Each structure stands twice: as C-alpha cells, then as structure tokens.
Amino acid sequence: MIEKTLKGKPAYWIWLAFLGMFMAVGIACYARQYLFGLGLTGMSRDVSWGLYISQFTFLVGVAAGGVMLVLPYYIHDYKAFGKITILGEFLAIAAIVMCLLFIMADLGQPLRALNVMLHPTPNSMLFWDMIVLNGYLFLNILCGWVILTAERKQVHPPKWIYPLVYLSIPFAVSIHTVTAMLYCGLPGRHFWLSAIIAPRFLASAFAAGPALIVIACLILKRVANFDAGKEAMNKLVTIIMYAALLNTFFVLLEVFVGYYSNIPGHKYSIQYLFFGLEHNGHVYNNLVPFMWTAVVLNFGALGLFAWPYARKKNEFLLGLSCVMIFGALWIDKGLGFVFAGFVPNPLHEITEYIPTANELGVTLGIWATGFFVLTLLYKIAVGVEHEVE
Amino acid sequence: MDKQRRNFLKIAGVAALAGIGAPALVRLSSSAALAAEHGAAVGEATAEAAHGAVAEAASQGVRLGMVIDMRRFSEQPELLDNAIVACNDAHNVPQFDNRKSEIKWIWKAPFENVFPYESSYHLAKKVKDADFAVLCNHCDDPPCVRACPTKATFKLEKNGIVAMDYHRCIGCRFCMAACPYGARSFNWEDPRPYIAKYNKDFPSRMRGVVEKCNFCSERLALGQEPACVEACQGTGAMVFGDLNDAQSEIRQLLDKEFAIQRNAALGTKPSVFYIV
C-alpha cells in the first residue's frame, strides 16, 4: 500500500514540498539547539517547560481524540463511521509521532533517552506515559494497517485484530489520563493540582481530535474526491460540540473554585492567564490576549455548532467552526495550561516565558513532520478507498 | 550477582569504610552513615547502595538535617554571603549574569518569598529586612525523587540526603516541576565557561542536566562539615546533624527553640529548619 504515496497530483507534491521546507527549517534549528543546549529556547529556571512540552500535551489529546471514531464504530457498530474510522487511527499515529518528537526536542540529554527504559521507575508518571504512548502508537499502526489491508482485499479483517482494536480504546483514554497525571500529582503547583485535569484533558481531546478530522474530511472532499458522508460528519460535529461544552464547563469549574474559595494559590494562575498578575508594581500579562482569543473562538464555535444551517448546510461555516474550536483548545491546552502552571514560581516570583525564534522553528518543524506523516497516511487510506470503489 | 559475592562486597565495603571514614567524624555523631557515604564516593561496589537499592542501611535511621538560625545571621549579615561563596567555590557553581540561565545551590531571598504560605502581614521589621538562606530541603518524602523517570535523583537511605546522578539525568526537568521549593536548576548551556575558580576536587556539570544542593555529600565523606556550615563555624548560624539522634547538637537545638519548615503542609517533610 505504501506505493500509493508515490503517485499524486502536482498539488500533492507541492503540499509535501511545502511541509518539507518547514521540516528542513526545524532540523536546522534543532541542530543549533543540539549543539548549544536548551539555552537557545525561552525557557528558564522558573518556567522550565515551554512550547515543546505544551505542544506534546495538546497533541496527546489529538491522538486520543481518534477514539471518538473507533469507539462508535467497533463497540456500537455505528456503520456511518466505517469509511472514516481509519482516518482517526491514522491521525493518532501522526499525533503520537509529533508527541515523541516534542519530548525528544525537550530533553537536555536526548542521547540518554533510553535511560527511561534501562532504569524503569514505576513511581514516575513519565515512565507510564512512555509505556502508554508507545503502546497506543503500536496498536494504531497495527490495527490501522491490518484493517486497511483487509479492506483493500475486500475480505473481513482477521479475528485476532479485534481484541487489539478494543484494547486501543482504554489505551486512548490512558494516554491522556497519564499525561494529565504528569501535572496533577505535583504538590507545589496549585494550578495543576486538581482532580479535574484528567477529565478536562479528555473532554478537550475529544473535541480537538474529531475537529481536525472534520477539517481533513472537508479538504479531502475537495482535493481527493473522498466523501465521508453527511451522517458521519453530522455525528462528528455532535461529538465535538458536547466534548467542547464539557471542556468549557470544567474550565469554568476551576474558575469558580479559585475565586469563590478565594485561596490565593488557586487564583494566581487563572488571574495571570485572563487578567494579568501584578507583582511589585509590574503587571505580567503576556498570555491575556491569547486567552481571550481562545474564549471568543470557543464560544463563537459553540454558537456556530448550535446553528443548524452552519452545521449541516454550509461547509465553509462548518470548517470555520472546527478551525475555531481547534484553535481555542490549542491556546487553552497547548499554551496557557502549561505556561501558567509555572506562574508564580515556588518562591512567588514571576518570570514570563517567551519562546525564541529558534524554538518556534523546531516547533513548526515538528508540526510539519506530523502533517507530512498524516498526509502520506491519508493518501494511502483514500487511495485504498478509491481502489475498492 | 550471586549471594556470596554480594555478601563479600558488603563486608569488604563496611571494612573499608570503618578504616577511612570513621576517625574524623566524631562531631557529627552519625559517623556510620556519613562514612557509608564515603564508600559510595570511592568504591564501585556501593554504587547500587547510592541508588537506594540496598534497604539495610535504612535501619540505621540517620536523617541529616540543618537548622538555619536567623538570629545569628541578623547579627552578622556577611555570614550568609560567606556561606554562599563557600558553596559556589566548593561545587563549581557557575555564575551567569542573566536570571534565565542561573544555577543556584544556596541563595538569599526575603521571608515572604521563602515562606509564601506564612503570613507576611505586619511582619516584624527584623524578619522583613532579613535575607533568608534558601537551599534544597532534602525532604524525607521528596516529590522530585517520585517524579524522576530514571532514578537520576534519589534519596540516600543511609542518611536521607537527596542526591543526583549527573550522568544518568536525561534533562527532562520533571523534578524541577515537582519540587515545591524551587531548589533545582538546569544547565541550559555549558556551565564551564562561567565557573570563576575551578575546584578540581568536585566535578563540574555538563549542559542538559539538573543540579542542586547535595548537602556536601563529598565533604561529609571526608569527615568535613558542609561548606556553608563550615563558613559559619563558631557562630551557630547553621547547625548540621542527624535529626533522628536525640543527642545530636541539631536535636538539642530543635528541642529547645521553635523552628519552622518551608511549606510543611505539603507533606514533603523538609529536613531544613529555620529559627526566625
């Protein structure tokens, strides 16, 4: 099936070259960082995780989001998802590739990464994250490939694959739960020390992942003559809408707990995110414009989803609302959640984080790599689909 | 490793330690544990012990701790500067001129920063104006050790010191997020050009690894006190010893004076105490 990636229209090659350009920039920037050290990033003693770990956190969600297709199709036998479930599985693969690259980019001593396996440490959540992420990656590659091969040959998939498909469902939940546990089990970080982090992560994941799939379907319909079907799209939008609503609800609960309890530690980070934090006469508010943009995008998208015309009749508005919700969730989890957890630091000093150009280059490079992988995988999936037809 | 060889190594290790470490350790009263630390520094045989894999040592129940007596530091403000310089010199702590890259083992901060969860409302002037020493708390239940995915940071069961293996650290900085006391620093770039005076007796670090105060494990092994404690010698500003030994100087002091720990509510059981 890999040969399908080698034949395509000019637009396909131009798109791959476009991504390849960013990948090259990313490699160059990473080489600089590798030779100098993480000092080339905007991270500091106080904000010791930056864009790399925040992108990792967000993308784990995108990967987990694929389960919103796998679960209805395989557990509830929801036939309308038959054509696009493979898109969910392949999206998970591309997202996890990005996650692993972001982790590697973030390590101070990347050549020692295997120490995590050579000295397994079950009390560390990072150890478990390594296990579930690699497990989920493996399951998706295997299940996706076997089922697609069967479809191509017009036969039923082998029976042994089903237990693995079912296993991939709790794995999807576990990757984001364990990623939440990286944060919510740390005693000194109030903003993260909340039992709702894992459910909140899952809710936003189940909106962000399917939103990206809807966007991909709308694009594939135009460029690859691949129609996911109206029913499948409608159902996806329903899933996105409810997941995004739940996420909004969870975030508002955090705001309530912080401000009603009036405990300073519970308020600082929220204050910093949405209004800016005053300290020794200086107001620190780097993230405020981003967070309010996220609020507008979030409620704007929810409004569009609630409007039947936009949801069902107008593909431009449908795509727009998905881009908006994806953007809102990316700002919420892919920027604000991680950065604000470090403000203020344990000594109640404030250091703000601003990524450097080199760091942005690496970040863009990894995103481009992910979309490169995604494009190749979707090319295969759509190619098989056309062959069968 | 078969059992006989393991036993032999244990006996050999203990014998070696008794010979090397013991004589100089009269004052610290916890000589056995401190001497054991020396073993870890010299012999490969105890490398496993250094990673906390050997439980026997715990039965000795030594827990090293420190009392920082701010009454003494207020009398002689230069004392803390001396202690900080002594530490930086002993451990090749690089001096960066920007806050972003800085590496700190022991440093100064005001009360409201060191104790953000204690009230600073109408704080006594002498406390408000004082500079407090901040260093790793060597917690009895350290969150950084729980978080580390490679056991590159670990608690020495024989004396409670939270130690680091700079050669195992992968630089994921999970420990920095986990530490509720801001005690850990990361080498964002090669620290060596920023070491003013190189001390050949202690390794410098490479970029990409985390580091912090080690309670001068290397000096304890030689029967010396921590560098900062030594810099305050004779003043009683810093008292170091075994928190589990009722006869130790540190326990006598704690039994007599009221002391506080940083953010004790988190359950980390810090081993550094402050008499304000």
Please name every residue paired with B274 in a beta bridge, in sequence order, or none if there are none.
B68, B260
Structure tokens at A66: 């694929």
Q: How far is A108 from chain B (nearest CA, A)?
A: 4
Q: What's residue B24's pLDDT?
A: 39
pTM for this entry: 0.89
Give the distance from CA B216 to its chain's centroid. 6
Candidates A279, A274, A292, A364; CA nearest to A28 is A364
Q: Which of B148, B208, B266 sits opposite A121 (nearest CB)?
A: B148
Candidates A275, A49, A291; CA nearest to A183 is A49
Q: How far is B237 from chain A (nearest CA, A)?
A: 22
Q: Is A112–B147 a contact, with Cβ atoms under 8 angstroms apart?
A: no
Rounded to whole angstroms, what are the CA distances from A214 to A98, A361, A384?
A: 20, 27, 20
Please report the domains of chain A, with CATH numbers, ordered by start residue: 2-388 (1.20.1630.10)
Q: What's residue A209's pLDDT?
A: 95
Residues from chain A that touch B134, judged by Cβ atoms under 8 A, are: 347
Amino acid at residue number A274: F
Q: How far is B228 from chain A (nearest CA, A)?
A: 21
Segments in chain B below pLDDT 70? 1-60
What phi and psi values does residue B68 have, to the nearest 5 degrees?
A: -105, 110
Structure tokens at A42: 């905007």
State the Cα–Cα distance between residues A118 and B163, nearest whole angstrom. 19
Coil, strand or helix: which one is B47?
helix
Mutate to test the interface with B, among A57, A178, A186, A359 (most CBs of B within 10 A): A186
Q: How far is B105 from chain A (nearest CA, A)?
A: 12
Residues with Cβ within 8 Å of residue A80, at least 6 apart in sequence:
A229, A231, A232, A235
What phi and psi values does residue B258 have, to the nearest 5 degrees?
A: -80, 125
Q: Is B170–A113 a contact, with Cβ atoms under 8 angstroms apart?
A: yes
A117 touches chain B (CB under 8 A): no
Residue at token pair 């939940």: A173
- pLDDT tens per residue, range B90-115: 999 999 988 889 999 999 999 999 99
Please report the domains of chain B, with CATH numbers, ordered by start residue: 62-275 (3.30.70.20)
Coil, strand or helix: which one is B211?
strand
Q: What's residue B71's pLDDT?
A: 93
Residue at token pair 């081993």: B271
A261 touches chain B (CB under 8 A): no
Q: Is A48–B116 a contact, with Cβ atoms under 8 angstroms apart?
A: no
- pLDDT tens per residue, range A116-136: 999 999 999 999 999 999 999
Q: What's residue A280's pLDDT?
A: 86
- Count other Cβ atoms within 10 Å, centred on residue B198: 10
Q: Which of A48, A110, A265 sits opposite B173 (nearest CB)?
A: A48
Candidates B115, B154, B142, B138; CA nearest to B65 is B138
Q: Can you tell me the mean pLDDT for A64-89?
A: 91
Q: Where are the beta strands (DSSP E) in chain B?
A: 64-69, 106-109, 132-135, 153-155, 162-164, 185-186, 210-211, 238-242, 272-275
Residues with Cβ within 8 Å of residue A330, at least 6 apart in sequence:
A58, A208
Q: What's residue A389's pLDDT?
A: 76
Residues with Cβ within 8 Å of residue B222, at least 6 apart in sequence:
B24, B38
Q: What's residue A387's pLDDT?
A: 86
Which alpha helices (DSSP H) does chain A contain, by range? 10-36, 51-65, 67-70, 85-106, 115-118, 125-152, 161-184, 197-223, 230-261, 264-274, 288-306, 308, 315-331, 337-340, 357-388
- pLDDT tens per residue, range A294-336: 999 999 999 999 999 988 888 899 999 999 999 999 999 999 9
A263 touches chain B (CB under 8 A): no
Coil, strand or helix: which one is B84?
helix
A349 touches chain B (CB under 8 A): yes
Residues from chain B that touch A36, judged by Cβ atoms under 8 A, are: 189
B173 touches chain A (CB under 8 A): yes
Residues from chain B that touch A46, judged by Cβ atoms under 8 A, are: 182
- pLDDT tens per residue, range A341-377: 999 999 999 999 999 999 999 999 999 999 999 999 9
State the Cα–Cα distance between residues A227 and B25, nearest whole angstrom. 79
Q: Are B158 and B38 in contact (CB under 8 A)?
A: no
Mutate to test the interface with B, among A35, A48, A350, A358 (most CBs of B within 10 A): A48
B64 touches chain A (CB under 8 A): no
Residues with Cβ within 8 Å of residue B40, at least 6 apart in sequence:
B46, B47, B49, B50, B156, B217, B221
Q: Sign of the CA dihedral B179, A33, B89, A347?
A: negative
- pLDDT tens per residue, range A30-75: 999 999 999 999 999 999 999 999 999 999 999 999 899 999 999 9
Q: Is A347–B178 a contact, with Cβ atoms under 8 angstroms apart?
A: no
Q: Is A188–B179 a contact, with Cβ atoms under 8 angstroms apart?
A: yes
A119 touches chain B (CB under 8 A): yes
Q: How far apart are the first and last CA of chain A?
A: 16
Please name every residue paired with B107 in a beta bridge, in sequence order, or none if there are none.
B134
Q: What's residue B43's pLDDT?
A: 38
Candidates B111, B137, B119, B276; CA nearest to A264 is B119
Q: How far apart are the first and last CA of chain B?
A: 51
Candidates A111, A115, A48; CA nearest to B211 is A48
B101 touches chain A (CB under 8 A): yes
Candidates A157, A149, A153, A175; CA nearest to A74 is A157
B190 touches chain A (CB under 8 A): yes
Candidates B187, B50, B63, B71; CA nearest to B127 is B71
Q: What's residue A225's pLDDT?
A: 87
Closest CA in chain A for residue B109: A347
Closest CA in chain B for residue A190: B180
Q: Is A119–B99 a contact, with Cβ atoms under 8 angstroms apart?
A: no
Structure tokens at A343: 């403000």
Closest CA in chain A for residue B189: A37
Q: Which of A39, A110, A115 sits opposite B189 (nearest CB)?
A: A39
Q: ipTM > 0.95? A: no
State the Cα–Cα distance between residues A156 and B255, nearest whole angstrom. 76
- DSSP-assigned letters across all residues of A285-340: -TTHHHHHHHHHHHHHHHHHHH-HIIIII-HHHHHHHHHHHHHHHHHIIIIIHHHH
Mutate to test the interface with A, among B93, B99, B100 (most CBs of A within 10 A): B100
Plot region of B140 (φ>0 → left; ψ -120 to 50 → alpha; else → beta): alpha
State the Cα–Cα distance between residues A50 and A299, nearest whole angstrom. 27
Q: Compute the CA torsion angle A91, A93, A96, A98 (nearest 10 deg).
A: -80
Q: What's residue B247's pLDDT?
A: 93
State the Cα–Cα distance between residues B106 and A306, nearest whole angstrom. 57
Residue A264's Cβ-side half-sphere holds a number of Cα atoms within 13 Å equal to: 9
Q: Are A45 and A147 in contact (CB under 8 A)?
A: no
Residues with Cβ within 8 Å of residue A374, at least 6 apart in sequence:
A90, A91, A94, A216
Structure tokens at A297: 């995008």
Q: Strand pairing of B153-155 and B64-69?
A: unpaired
How many residues are there in chain A? 389
Residue A282: exposure state from Cβ atoms within 10 A (0-12, 13-18, ≥19) = exposed
